[in-house]
């Protein structure tokens, strides 16, 4: 499994997909930084700059971005990180 140097997860509170993604990361003991885009306007702007959209979650893994996804899409994205190197 890909070993990330930096994982940033942009979320909105009460977002079911966001909670699902955090569970997926936690189950795999992947460290990540949570950025609440409702509370933090700068995080919101960063999320929009990275993804071009306002939907959450958005994940930035070592500069590679996946936007508006659930755990299934994250699993496929994560598998592809090894082949991107």
- CATH number where 15 lies: 3.40.30.10
Q: What is the DSSP letter of 56?
A: S
Residue 26 lies in a domain: yes
- Total domain count, the chain: 1
pLDDT for residue 8 = 98
The C-alpha angle with vertex 51 and arms to 43 and 2, in degrees rounded to 5, equals: 90
CB atoms within 10 A of CB 47: 27
Query: For each of the chain's 85 residues, which pLDDT tens digit applies?
Result: 899 999 999 999 999 999 999 999 999 999 999 999 999 999 999 999 999 999 999 999 999 999 999 999 999 999 999 876 5
Domain that holds residue 15: 7-70
Residue 1 lies in a domain: no
Q: List for the chain the helix, strand, coil content (%; round to 5).
A: 45, 20, 35
**In the structure encoding, which two tokens stand for residue 26, read together?**
């936690």
Residue 59 lies in a domain: yes
pLDDT for residue 57 = 97
pLDDT for residue 1 = 86
């Amino acid at each position: 499994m890909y070993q990330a140097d930096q994982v940033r997860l942009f979320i909105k509170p009460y977002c079911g997909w966001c909670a699902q993604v955090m569970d997926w990361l936690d189950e795999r003991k992947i460290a990540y930084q949570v950025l609440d885009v409702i509370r933090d306007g700068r995080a919101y702007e960063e999320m929009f700059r990275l993804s071009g959209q306002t939907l959450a979650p958005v994940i930035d893994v070592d500069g590679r971005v996946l936007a508006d996804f659930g755990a299934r899409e994250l699993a496929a994205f994560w598998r592809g990180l090894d082949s991107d190197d």
